[in-house]
Amino acid sequence: MPNATLPVSSSFTASDGASFPPGAFWLPEEQAFNFSLFSRNATAITLLLYRADDLLTPCLRVCFCLPHNKTGDMWHARLPADRVGDACYYGYSVAGPHRPEDGLLFDAEKLLLDPYARGVFFPPDFDRDAACKPGPTAGRAPLGVLPERTATTPPPSRRPRRHDHDLVIYELHVRAFTRDPSSGVDPAQRGSYAALTARIPYLKALGVTAVELMPIFQRDPLHGTFWGYMPLNFFSPHAGYASDGTVATSWREFRAMVAALHEAEIEVFLDVVYNHTGEDHAGGPVWSYRGIDNPSYYTRAPGLPFRPTNRSGCGNDLDVAAPMVRQLILSSAWFWIEEMGIDGLRFDLASMFSVDETGHINLAEPPIITELSTAAHMRQTRLIAEPWVGDGSLMQLGRAFPGRTWRQWNARFRDDIRRFLRGDDGCVPALMTRLYGSTDLFPDDRAHAARPYQSINYIAIHDGLTLRDLFSYDDPGQIAANCGHQGIDGAPEPVQALRRRQTRNAFCLLMLANGTPMFQAGDEFGHSRGGDPNPYDRDDETNWLDWRQTENESALLRFVRMLIAFRAAHPSIARSVGWRDDVSWHGVDGGEPDLRPVSRSLAFFLRGAAMADDDLYVFINGWDDTLHFALPEVARGGPTPWRSLVDTAAAPPADILTAETATPVSDMARLPAQARSIRVLLRTRPDATIR
């Protein structure tokens, strides 16, 4: 646990306690603990300390007495070590009016968790139901873990180099990544931070340069939300991902994992949920925020009785514009960056941050977005938005999102690529826009000066079908087509062959597009969730990766590895600006592209000279028949021959080759592309040598 960095206190502060920072901190220079808790509407607060051998009866009760232990809305106290004794856990009893119609839910019998706790302990008799109804919860409620008195916070691990054109994001779930016995890690470590560390050589070989961890904030272990999008505490790594399930080990293994990923030159991003909490809908458990000061932490719909808003779709939206909640979010973000060493934050339902203190959408200067964007200590942090809200009422993709420099999950890229691969009408113009860098959403004109890398391009991610399922199940809501057979079992070989080709096509379009590519763990070797687009509560083989697939689908894994390496080797693909005059678009005959609604084909020539790179020619056939492409006049000639490096219709290993193993293309007038396939040609720059 970390120690506080506070100035030496004056005598009255030493006796009364300091109001800032919130939380519980050990002060080594004073050999004392400082406790501080926000509550605007409470009438009395009592700090309760517990020993490990008695989780029912507190070993010390400390009443925060007026006027000494309250400053503004902060209640505080400072306790010398000898008074704390061998206590190791703490919680609060918060008294106040109980008027549900006004949103006031104070109940002094409830044992409440400090929102700033740096560790959460769940007693053996932890009981979710007890927190949902009146009555005491001592011995059945989560407790904060007191900071250690001797440990010092180690410095953050060495940061990896900041990737640019070679940034490839790999989304994974810590437990699902290695929980299956096929993961090959020590059985005692499966599903843990330590197990992920053991699999870093696989990530390095795959070629990804950033991992985005699905939520790892501490959550209720009884809630059943496997994906982690119902956080209980914003400062604690989920202890369930520690190899032994303890708070201390979760800290140690998480930091070791980050350090090891950094040593492998892999950045670490966290998927963070600050828009709602695991206290759930109205009538849910009273664990922390709801009992400490419900109307100060959660937003309400206009009128009486008090009714929480539900933009998040979870029934208890945090009031992210309120100063105390903003401080909570900013403190948490800074904690994960500074103390835990992570490199980026992906904000779940980030459009919730557009709400200002009046409850209205503020696109000019939404408080929390402005503070995150301008804070000096956040300048080197990747800020990534999911630019919409859960109830679908607000979509801010692209320039509509107030964080002008943030990266954003590009759902339009996902949908447009899926439609093209499915064979929908009218997709070629959209395909061109997505490949170019989605300048309709991220315009690069003088007024906006957006960058292509702000577009996080993806086709399949945790929220929806896996890539394999996308081509194995008919699902109109997911823009999915099954290639002629519903489900995976019993699919005839021609159907399986088409699915493999479509999977390679999807990876090709993802890696050939300007922007920042992202894909989910397991898609590179055909992980299936049985067609379930939302198994958020399944802690089983539905979400667990089956590593035997790395052998069964070794050809696909090889293709993805080489494609990622190809993208990294060619900076002309992912640029800091649009391709502009370096790209020309063509049709099958080498002339202008066919933009009619019935069109299913496209080619483009990407010159690499401006980036000291090779030239690329890509032709894409979305038809069910073979097409023969003619090389356009602008791509003819040159000092070196064209070589065919990628052909998604070819049998492995001919589906992807290196420039050294690829032979020159002989007939440049008729370049065949089989049905539903993509080919990539490369012409080396004059100063390059093919061995």
Average pLDDT of span 573-602 = 97
Is 158 part of any domain?
A: no
Q: Is the pLDDT of residue 171 over 70?
A: yes
- At 432-463, the pLDDT tens digits run 999 999 999 999 999 999 999 999 999 999 99
Strands 627-629 and 671-673, bridge-based pairing = antiparallel
- At 275-293, the pLDDT tens digits run 999 999 888 999 999 999 9
Q: Is the pLDDT of residue 3 over 60?
A: no
Name the pLDDT band for 153 (thresholds 50, 70, 90): low
- At 405-428, the pLDDT tens digits run 999 999 999 999 999 999 999 999
- At 644-688, the pLDDT tens digits run 999 999 999 999 999 999 989 988 778 999 999 999 999 998 776
Catalytic one of 16, 293, 348, 655:
348
What does the alpha-carbon distance between residue 380 and residue 375 come to, in Å, rounded to a whole number?
10
Is 259 part of any domain?
A: no
Task: Please say which residue of 145, 180, 203 terminates a domain.
Answer: 145
Q: How many other CB atoms are there within 10 angstroms of residue 487's CB atom?
A: 14
Catalytic one of 166, 317, 386, 523:
386
What's residue 630's pLDDT?
94
Two structure tokens written together for 164: 């640019």
Q: Is the pLDDT of residue 492 over 60?
A: yes
Task: Please say which residue of 91, 114, 145 terminates a domain.
Answer: 145
Is 342 part of any domain?
A: no
Average pLDDT of span 73-82 = 97
Is 475 part of any domain?
A: no
Of 31-45, 454-468, 537-551, 653-667, minimum mean pLDDT range:
653-667
What's residue 126's pLDDT?
97
Average pLDDT of span 554-571 = 98
CATH of the domain at 127: 2.60.40.10
DSSP element (H, E) containing 293: helix 289-297
Is 73 part of any domain?
A: yes
Short-list 580, 587, 607, 472, CA closest to 526:
472
Give pTM, 2 decimals.
0.96
Residue 242 amino acid letter: A
Q: Is the pLDDT of residue 15 over 90?
A: no
CATH of the domain at 622: 2.60.40.1180
Q: How many other CB atoms are there within 10 angstroms of residue 409's CB atom?
A: 22
Name the pLDDT band for 690 (thresholds 50, 70, 90): low
Name the pLDDT band for 7 (thresholds 50, 70, 90): very low
Is 177 part of any domain?
A: no
DSSP for 63-100, please give it.
E--TTTTEETTEEEEEEEHHHHTT--EEEEEEE--EEG
Is 110 part of any domain?
A: yes
Name the pLDDT band for 10 (thresholds 50, 70, 90): low
Q: Is the pLDDT of residue 155 over 70?
A: no
Is 129 part of any domain?
A: yes
Task: Please say which residue of 145, 166, 197 terminates a domain.
Answer: 145
- Mark whether 660 is an active-site residue: no
Share of the chain above pLDDT 70, in %: 97
pLDDT: which is higher, 468 or 158:
468
Two structure tokens written together for 525: 């070797």
Cα-trace Rg, the chain = 28
- Mark whether 348 is an active-site residue: yes
Number of domains, the chain: 2
Contact between 629 and 673 under an 8 Å Cβ cutoff? The reply is: yes
What is the span of the domain harbouring residue 627? Answer: 580-683
Contact between 480 and 533 under an 8 Å Cβ cutoff? The reply is: no
Q: Is the pLDDT of residue 378 over 90?
A: no
Whole-number mean pLDDT of the chain? 94
What does the alpha-carbon distance between residue 80 and residue 323 come to, in Å, rounded to a whole number?
31
